[in-house]
Structure 1
């Protein structure tokens, strides 16, 4: 439980006060942390946001998180050549567009993908402002988690700056595909919570040529969408007790009615923010299911039409 509390805390910024109260999640115990050094980080071409305080790193339960991100970057995780499949995934961590659970839903996921031969690029996208004071930030998150109004409420939809960063990340990876041994036609995107919102928005708002080749929104908001007729294949995983779960399964129905490929995994219990899988729950199997789904779709894409 402690391992996952970091993202659940930031996820409370997404929830309505009633949903946050119902979730009964623990009050966060954030602690300031030094800025980690990550060799090979790539600065994207989107402009720096000027309305934020300095970028601020912190930990909860030992896992890095970051807020007030004003400059978008990509961090590559490239598999060894003997394992490489030629596929790539942009990984977008969650955090309510007010922070990023960048270790648990970024670096760890990207490393897991690279270990299985898939090049991965963690997107540190620009966020919306939170208080300069770390104590004010922590107290604001704690208030949201017990159902009180937040001093820095979440946006109603994916901010334009985050979408611009995702588009820039996709463009960068495709433009440098030869450098990384990647097929530019096989660059997908995976996002968690707010990162899942962002992943879906790339399909719903970007021109067809700029969209990911496939998407994997993990614990997204499950409401219906207007799905393009040429939307990419989609893999979704969420727990039944997640506050973003919608019993209508509108997101899945939208893809299905549009006659676009979709695979959906509803786990009995794990709450929100289970990352690569919450110990003691069946969510530990979603990542392997995703890999099998990608392999199936890769075979289908290369099978000659009769």
Structure 2
């Protein structure tokens, strides 16, 4: 992963504190446990706040939190939402719970994925100091990952299997389960689209993800991509992720927001990213994922 991805992570750093110290709870975390090995580094999961949004480090037990539509409004579609944070943390509200509530308000069942992260020093001051040194070319007790970590990939697959395996309980169609993620969660979304095998999501929406080339499998799902023109993850000429999908003959929707940098979340008022979730919703609907399976024709 590019070192500047670590500089993004610095913008999310917080004053450590207990999970109920302040702020508004926007979904009922921590949710349902997913199967995963226990932590080996002995560092406890750390919760804190960056402004009004919660941020989590040292996740060693993955969970999935359902945020379901109100009675009578469900479309039967579902989306797993993976927040970002450089695989060292999770912006659980800004890129998780808030997005899930938006989706649920439009009839789409949402599931916030708290996936496993790279272990980092428990004390916040030590972590900040080590990360700053690492980004200056020094050494630290942890390293910046180049791509989706194996633990996060396993948790993504576990989430897809859980949601589909409990489709009746959540009143969703197992054939209409999508996956979306932001930043590192966008890396994870790419991994689910390319390496999900039989568990591949029905559709994928990586938001400000790694834009590098992708090995696109025959069963790759339709993809929606959004990123800011000023994002540091845009390296070199062209858009290899988009080119990979086009070369494979798979449908891809691509939005490049001219005003925006990395991390615009649900959109920034007054910038070109404002309202981008409406574009995603329209795309999901146009591809046929919001109608009953007996009457729909999903475009793939």
Which structure has the highest helix share of the two? 1
Q: Which residue, 102, 118, 126 being the options, matches 1:112?
A: 102
Pick aligned residue for 2:85 from 95, 100, 105 = 95
| Matching residue of 1:242 | 231
Change (3 A) 1:304 1:143: closer
CA distance in 1: counterparts of 2:226 and 2:281, whole angstroms: 13
Deviates more, 1:278-287 or 1:124-133: 278-287
What is the CA-CA distance between 1:129 and the residue it aligns to?
0.8
Structure 1: any 5+ residue segments left out of the alignment? 1-13
The partner residue of 1:57 within 47, 52, 68 is 47
Cα shift readout 1:44-67 (whole Å, capped 9, x = no counterpart): 122223235100011112210000
Which runs of 5 or more structure 2 residues have no equivalent in the other structure?
none
The 1:241/1:143 distance shift into structure 2, 3 A limit, reads farther
Pick aligned residue for 2:209 from 217, 220, 240: 220
Within 2, Cα distance between the matches of 1:31 and 1:229? 45
| TM-score under structure 2 length normalisation | 0.88
Native 8 Å contact 2:12 2:55 kept in 1: no
Distance 1:239 1:169 in 2: 28
Decide whether aligned partners of structure 1 residues 303 and 211 sit closer, same or farther in structure 2, where only a CA change above 3 A counts: closer
Encode CA deviations 1:228-266: one digit per residue, 9 max, x unaligned: 122100000000100111331000011111111110000
Q: Which residue of 1 aligns with 2:19?
A: 35
Q: Secondary structure at the match of 2:288?
A: helix
Which of 167, 190, 194 lines up with 2:180 in the alignment? 190
Residue 210 (1) aligns with residue 199 (2): yes
Matched, 1:125 2:112: no
Q: Which moved more, 1:240-249 or 1:256-265?
A: 240-249
Bigger shift: residues 219-228 or 50-59: 50-59
Structure 2 counterpart SS, 1:282: coil
Question: For 1:54-94, what per-residue CA distance to the aligned partner results, in whole angstroms no more than 9, with x for missing partners?
Answer: 00011112210000001000011000132111000000001
SS of residue paired to 1:284? coil
Which structure has more relative contact order (CA 8 Å, sep 6+)? It is 1
Provide closer, same or farther for how the CA distance between residues 52 and 269 of structure 1 changes in structure 2, counting only shifts above 3 A.
farther
Deviation at 1:28, TM superposition (A): 6.2
